[in-house]
Amino acid sequence: MRFEELTEYFKRLEATTKRLEMFDILSEAFSKAEKTDIAKTVYLLQEELLPPFFNVQLGIADRIVEKAISDAYGVNLETVKSENKKVGDLGEVSEKYNKTNKKSTMSVTEVYDDIFKLSSISGEGSVEGKISALSLLLKKISPLESRYLIRFIMGKLRLGVGEATIMEALSKAKTGSRNFKSELERAFNLCSDLGHVAEVFYDKGDSGIKKFHVEVMRPIRPALAERLPDAEEIIKRLGKCAVDQKFDGFRAQVHKDGDDVKVFSRNLEDITHFMPEIVDAVKKLKHKKMIFDGEALTYDEDTNTLYPFQITIQRKRKHNIEEVSESFPLRLFVFDIMLLDEQDLMQDSYRKRRDIVDKTFEEESTISKSKFIITDSAAELTKFFEDTVGSGLEGVVAKKLDAPYSAGARNFNWIKIKRSYKSQLNDTIDIVILGYFRGKGMRADFGIGAVLGGVYNKSKDIFETITKVGSGFSENQFKELRKMLDDVKVPHKPARVESIMVPDVWVAPAYVITVKADEITRSPMHTCGMEKGVGYALRFPRAVSFIRTDKRVEDVNTSKEIIEMFKNQKRVELK
Ligand code: ATP
């Protein structure tokens, strides 16, 4: 496919306010793509050069783009800068000064490869190098292409296309039906690389997708836990189950291939460099190939106790990692294993996988393991929960004994209960920011008084509104928030957002915050779980976190979870 054709689709995607239309546009675009450019098309739509675990960053600043536009189109640099100030979108600026009326002939692959080269220019003279490479590319493309190319390299494409919609559209484009989406999803959950999945699908068809299995160094999308209010509910649902200590640290998925070790975060970023002591310990394990799952925490060797999460998270902000790992070493508590040498354990029961964990790892070492019980008694589960919480941990995770590893899924194979769950809605809720309202009174000075927050409706792949949050932010956070949100503002409601409320400014779903509320109530103003004109809303919400960089927008709470929480809350009230 030619890049220009793809940008025509971008234009249509940008204009749509309906998810179904978005799906149709994507299916049409995918039906035009070849096997040689489908992966790159998917990455461009996902607004990334490669999935996060490749750690490829473009790092193209405004000044580089401004100079490249100025050089490419022979426009005075000051003029470009002032135009950028005026419209706040260098994509539009580039389109305006690109006066060519020649049709561009570059393919998606050629443009993608040129962008990739830009990302690899580093070291001394890299600014000049990037400017000249970018201006060369700008000269070869049409005005519309330059609009989207610039937005892409600046991380501001904001088409708002979700993974689920991409998979559904790929299925439709290749097989004529949406039904193959679940197979694509299975493959995606095993490798976390949608471009790669699309390429195999185009190259080898459905049989290629059906053969997908886990591979070392390709992160598996992590299994997630559902929640239930108490031990009785858990036993009612799982019967005899394993109950595991729950630690509050970094989720760490470890891959080992001989001396090669990589650690991936919950978000599937490569966090190997944060954890030198874990990497060293993993290298010493005798198995050649391994993939296992655990939680890494800072612990005090002298007292043999764990430090609070705040100490563990500090490591992400420090540059002197080696020193920090000496003074605040990490311990990894392994709780699952997905591959051991030639054995793919994904479909094996939790019981079998846990037996392997127990045989493979020691207790009191850097690579440690969680403690657990197996029980069918609610009283015993409650006692283990209380002892665990009493020892300073966060809670427990109950695990279904005969369940496979549920890559990329939140379901009742794992059920968490945390300390705070005991009184309902002490639990926090993660929401995605969908827009903001300009403030009144003092808030008017910041130009923002509240944000519109939404949750994720997974089956429809859309965001539904649940609340308006105006408290919990400091003055500085409000100011920063305004800046960050203006950077992702969009001219109309994004296609994957369903809302009755209309904020003063719509933003692309990009940022997650955690809020606390007093209660979940029914409301006709919010679209979360809406049926017959009545949805669900949060009463008295307040932010308890600033932007959560560890969560993607699809990781916020789902509408289904909110409805569950609402039911549980009701039940507790009746007691
Ligand atoms: P989630 O990760 O489920 O979206 P969250 O970020 O709010 O939500 P929690 O509610 O604290 O996280 O619980 C889930 C997380 O608990 C897992 O992602 C994992 O990192 C962590 N965890 C700690 N101990 C365990 C364990 N023994 N088994 C499974 N997960 C555990």
Annotated catalytic residue: which of 172, 246, 369, 468?
Answer: 246
Q: Among 226, 243, 247, which is best to mutate for testing ligand 1, by the most ligand atoms less than 8 A from CB? A: 247
Angle, CA of 254, 255 and 257, to the nearest 5°: 150
Residues with pLDDT less than 50, the chain: 421-423, 570-575
Superfamily in which the 224-421 domain is placed by CATH:
DNA ligase/mRNA capping enzyme (3.30.470.30)
Other beta carbons within 10 angstroms of residue 68's beta carbon come to 27
Question: 266 in ligand 1 pocket by Cβ < 6 Å?
Answer: yes
- Please state, in angstroms and rounded to a whole number, the distance separating the CA atoms of residues 532 and 354: 45
Local structure of 40: helix, strand or coil: helix
- Give the closest residue (by CA) to ligand 1 atom 20: 251
Q: Which two tokens stand for residue 534?
A: 């009545």
State yes or no: is 316 an active-site residue. no
Question: Quick one: which atom of ligand 1 is closest to the CA of 225?
Answer: 3
Q: How far is the CA of 335 from the centre of ligand 1 (A)?
A: 11
The closest-lying atom of ligand 1 relative to the alpha carbon of residue 246 is 24
How far, in Å, is the centroid of ligand 1 from the Cα of 266? 9
- Tell me, in angstroms, the distance from the centre of ligand 1 to residue 526's CA: 28
Judge if the beta carbon of residue 255 lies within 6 A of ligand 1: no
Ligand 1 neighbour 218 (Cβ under 6 A)? no
Residue of 397, 406, 418 to test ligand 1 pocket, by largest number of atoms within 8 Å of CB: 397
What's the CA-to-centroid distance between 249 and ligand 1, angstroms?
9
Identify which of 135, 288, 227 has the alpha carbon closest to the alpha carbon of residue 430.
227
Nearest to 49 by CA among 103, 117, 139: 117
Same fold? 224-421, 429-568:
no
Residue 353, ligand 1, Cβ within 6 A:
no
Q: Which CATH superfamily is domain 429-568 in?
A: Nucleic acid-binding proteins (2.40.50.140)
Please provide the DSSP assignment of 327-393 as one string. HS-EEEEEEEEEEETTEE-TTS-HHHHHHHHHHH--SSSSEEE--EEEES-HHHHHHHHHHHHHTT-
DSSP label of 518: S
**Whole-angstrom distance, CA of residue 269 vs CA of residue 383:** 36
Measured in Å, residue 221 CA sits from the centre of ligand 1 at: 13
496 — phi, psi (to 5°)?
A: -90, 20
Ligand 1: does its nearest atom lie under 6 Å from the Cβ of 335?
yes
CA of 550 to the centre of ligand 1 (A): 12
204-237 b/e (C-beta count within 10 Å ≥ 16 → b): eeeeebeebebbbebbbbbbbbbbbbbbebbbee
Sequence ranges of the domains in the chain: 224-421, 429-568
Q: How far, in Å, from the CA of 92 to the mean position of ligand 1? A: 42
Give the pLDDT confidence score for residue 327 in this predicted structure: 77
| Ligand 1 pocket check for 90: Cβ under 6 Å | no
Structure tokens at 159: 């088409």
Integer angstrom CA distances of residue 542 from 12, 193, 431: 37, 35, 11
* Ligand 1 atom nearest residue 245's Cα: 27
By most ligand atoms within 8 Å of CB, the mutation choice from 416, 419, 516 for ligand 1 is: 416
What is the atom index within ligand 1 of the atom nearest the CA of 335? 27
| pLDDT at residue number 317 | 67
Tell me which of 241, 295, 389, 550 to substitute to probe ligand 1's pocket, judged by most ligand atoms within 8 Å of the beta carbon: 295
> 289 forms bridges with which residues in the sheet?
257
